[in-house]
Structure 1
Amino acid sequence: MQRRQLLKAGLGLAALAATPLARASSGRVLIVGGGWGGLAAARQLRQLVPALEVVMVERNAEFRSLPLSNRWLVGLAGNEPLVYDYAAAASRHGYRFLQAEVIAIERERRQVVTRTETLDYDWLVLAAGIREDFTSWFGADAAAASHTRQHFGSAFTGGDELLRLKARLQNFTGGDLVMTIPPMPYRCPPAPYERAVMLAWWLKEKRIKGRLLVLDPNQPALAFDRVFRDSYSEQISYFPQARINTLDPYQKRLTTDFETIDFADAILAPPQQAADIAWQAGLVAPGKDGKTSGWAAQDPVHLHIPGDERVFLVGDMVDKASPLFGFYPKTGQIAARQGAIAAQEIAARAAGLAPGQSLPSSSCYVVRRVSPLEISRIDTDFRFRADGLIQQTVKQTHFAQAEDEDRRWATAMFGELGL
């Protein structure tokens, strides 16, 4: 059963031979963002349409996985399975990697502008991920937001923030460690609760005289609340429906509706939104009440943006997919599945064919207890209802005597992404 589930979790991509990188007459696909969605789109396009030039633009030189990063933060995983070189992956699979920061998209000209050059595209896959919105805490105070990101970053955006967070944890000697959870929706919903479990285990294992204060603005996570109370009652205080009213990152003090907390250190995750580039490109539209959702609108089946079938959005940055359930879960595998679907859409259009209809799926593994190891798998599938709306089904499986199912799933996915 576990082998079949791992195969289901993969993208089903075959190994690809490298192809020349010269501009092809069939056109160019630019992929902005080298996360799970961007990597899946790049590899799938090389398989489906070898005549297309595929260029992935990413500001970081290395891919650093967020899945398994909670293990890594507390010393339960090394660097080897989590960090991969983008240029090496591109060379193996025959697409071009450009390390650059994208600062603008000019859709009328079909151009992407980086800090060093302007690139033309025939199709664009935007897989830029998220940004963190500090305005609910600081308003227009950019200095306070920057200080918080630098000294108390959540590491939800990956990259160097993960390195800084691990360094802070290694230097933590005790006291109150505050961790906030963003309001829904946010990237990888179970991840903060898994991190809390890992940190509580770490405090206990290292005999650090500290306490983790988990401030959650959402409804109580009952399954994790039980674990917190049963296994880590001396290490965790969990506060559901706790909204931050004020935050002073310089004095290390915050207030909620109920109390004032002075902290020794903190992992502060504000609300999340679509990445900056989505706002620059005008992809985040206002809602019916004039207030924006903060997420980029797309056709939930074909994944292109409204009014432009040459620009596709994949991954965590997208808005609601269906009035029946709202957002696709913002998980790595959803992003990877959407990247593959976008590649199929582009391949069909490049051949002059009408694209088909495909829906993503997701398997998400989360550690619920470290010792003894307990893991849950959350499977989310989608289908079309008779009226054409997308319907969601969710199934949860608990492994009370786990055997590193999360590691095996992640390793399989990294292989499928060509890393």
Structure 2
Amino acid sequence: MLATPVVAVERTNATIKGQKAVVFKWRDSAGRFRSVALKREGAGNSGHGGYAIRMTYNYLDSTGAKRTVTADAPKDDGFGYFVSHERYRKFTDGESNTIAGKIFGKDDSPLGRGFAVTGRVGADGKKFKSYRFKTVYPRYGAKAPGGIDDNTGDDQPPLGLSQSLFQLYELPVTITWSFQDGRDHPRIQTVVDLSRIPGPDLVSFDLRGPYGKLDFNAGSGAITRVVWGDAAYHFTTTSPTLTRNSTWTWNAANDESRYTALIAGQFEMGLFEPQPVAGTKINDGFAFGRGQTDATHDAAGAGCGGQALPCDWEWPYQSAQYELPYDNPNGVTTSEKIAWGSTAYYGMSLGSTYDGTRSVPFNGFPTNRKLSYSVCVVLGQTVAGSLTRFDASGGGDYNCARVD
């Protein structure tokens, strides 16, 4: 009797901790199995679907024995859904706030896992498979376009205070997960559709998807280090554990790719854009600390005295900054939240944005009305300098699944 052949990328249905999921399993570049379980919409599941609730990967321990890490999501959470924050706007009463918060008393950045999705099979080859989720994300904006003060980045003229001046727009969002035989990293492509917005300069928001949490080290160890590379510089904390008093550098030039990673002991979870920064699809937000170190950055002058780290809002990616305790500058966190990030001027017609060190060409409202970008998801044992950074600097295929 002939043995059943191994499918290069396998797709099955399974139940993970009581939740129905579509599971993808494949062999990575070392020939070891990895898997991703994507929560389904409906099928008896609580809440909504469209994101990963479990990932598994293998590694070799110090004795050479193969070990498996099962990276599960915390209860009622997961990784890979879309989130966006509205830009803080300037109003005629002098206040800076979001339209959602000030005018409508609503959350300006609801979690994408709170919205219904439709899911369907994408590519279905032997060595490459994908799965696509579609949802609609709400975004408050003005009814009439306004301008921006080039010197401050604030609305000019300021926005009025009547609800009649604003409305809720819908942004269709498509998230495609891709898996490829022989590659370590799955790819997540996000496409935000602006076609339901009449024109530019009505909404203004950032891009933080993919977003969420997985216990990537299968334990409760504290985050020991944070690293990232924006479109200009590499960042790394240089203290033994991550706290608000951690020392850091953010002044080594980055000519590789954009990336962000969390490191907990010997394990790491990260995201990177699989192309050089010269062709990045995303613009960075403004930061006082970019190009500096903890010794030269004036945290008090930037508006966040009491900590050595750059202000929470300065980080180009949402990460552990909001997970660290505010009442203890030496406190650690075990919360493993990670997300992408960008400037908050998407939806606007600006020709450039300023990151704190330079102006960068910008297209926040493309003629095809589609904001499209990809990231690769890294899980594994960390290496000196970060596994995510190493793979982000690889060039070529970046050890990542191709785009669907």
The two structures have a TM-score, normalised by structure 1, of: 0.23
The two structures have a TM-score, normalised by structure 2, of: 0.24
Identify, as 1 or 2, the structure richer in helix: 1
Identify, as 1 or 2, the structure richer in strand: 2
